[in-house]
Amino acid sequence: MALPPVVRATRLGFQPPAIGDEEIDAVVETLRSGWLTTGPKAEELERRAAEVLDADHVIAVASGTAAMHLALVALGVGPGDEVITTPITWPATANVIVHTGATPVFADVRNGDLNIDPERVAELVTERTKAILPVDLAGQPCDLDPLLALGHPVVEDAAHAFESAYRGRKIGGISDVTCFSLYATKNVAAGEGGLIATNRADIAGAIGELRLMRRGGGSLYDIGVPGYKANLSDVLAAIAVVQLGKLERHAEIRARQFALYDGAVAELDGITPLARDARDTHALHLYIVRIDAESAGATRDDYQRALAEELISTSIHFLPVHRLTWYRERFRADCPVAERAGSEVLSLPLSPAHTDEDIGDAVDALQRVHARFTG
C-alpha cells in the first residue's frame, strides 16, 4: 500500500531557536537599563550557569570559538606545541589550535558515538603534546576518564553538551576547562556567545585577563597581557539568562522528539542513530543518524536531497575536518572511522520550537523516502 503524499505546506526548519516573549522582554529591559556591553546581566549569567554546571568559575565570552581559543592561550599553548583533537567536529575546534600557532593532531573516533577514541589519542601523545581537545558530539559526553588519565590538560568542546553528565558528574566541572556555545541553535541559545567553565582559579584568572582589555585607575591604565575583544554583551546575556530558566521544559520536548525518531528509525533498515551511553546524561542536542547506502538503498546525500524535496530541512554533523581543503593540504591524519562516518551522518530536525506534529512530519517523510529507495 502506497504511503500518503507530502502533507506539509511549508518547509520544516532544521533547528530554529525556541524564543518567546520572555526573551524579548529581557532584551528590552536590558536596552532600557543603559547596559549594551558587558555588565550585570553577563555577571548574572555567569553566576547562574556556574550553579547549573557545578563549576567554581564560569566566564561569559563572545562565542564558543572564543571560549576554546582563550582556554588554549591561558594554558600556554603556542608555536611548537601539538593539541590532539577529533576530526568529527565543526572546523572551529581545529581552527583555534591553529590560531595559537600550535599544530592540530587528529585522532580517530569510536564507531558507535563518533566521539574521540581515547586509545587513538594515547597513541598520538608525544613530548610536544600540550593539551587534548575532545568534543561531546550531539550531547553525548566523550570518554573523559581515560583522556584525563593521560596527564595532559583537557579542554572540552561542550558546545552540544550544556545539560550533559559523564558517569554522574556534570559536564563543566570535570575537565581542566569546558567550553560551551550560546549560538542560535544550541540548547541555551542567545544568538551568539560562549561560556568557559573551570574549577581552576589560575585558568579563570588568566582568561579573565585575556577576554577584555580593561581600563583601570581613572584616565590611567596599564596592560598586563595582550588581551582580546572577546566579552559578551548584556543584551545577549539577557537572552541566555531567560533560556536557563527553560532548560527543564525544553529538555522534555527534545526527549519526546528523540523518542519519536527512535521508534521510527528502529524499523528502517540501514538507518541507525548514534550510540548513547546509558551511564551518562545525554543533552539531546542533535539527532544524528548514519545512513548505510547498501542497506538503506541510497547514500546520505541522496536522502538529504529527497528529504529537502519533502520540505524537511536536515544538516550534516560533521564532515571530517582533516579532509577539508585547508587542513588536507597541510596535515596528515589516519582516521578511517571518521572518514566513513563523514559520508553517512545526517542530522534530523530537532528543536523545542517544533511541535510533535512537526517531528511526525519529518518521520513520515523519512519513511516515504526510505520506502522509495528500498522498494
- Cite the active site residues: 186
Among 16, 18, 14, which Cα is nearest to 246's? 18
Q: Say how far apart CA 362 and CA 349 lie, in whole Å.
A: 7
State the virtual CA torsion across 8, 10, 12, 16 in degrees, nearest 10.
Answer: -150
C-beta neighbour count of 216 within 10 angstroms: 8
- What one-letter code names the amino acid at 308? A
Run of H or E including 289: strand 287-291
Q: Are strands 177-181 and 155-157 parallel, antiparallel or unpaired?
A: parallel
Peptide bond into 318 cis (omega under 30): yes
Q: SS3 for 194-220, per residue?
A: EEEEECCHHHHHHHHHHCCCCCCCCCC
Q: Which residue has the cell 585558568?
A: 203
Run of H or E including 235: helix 234-244
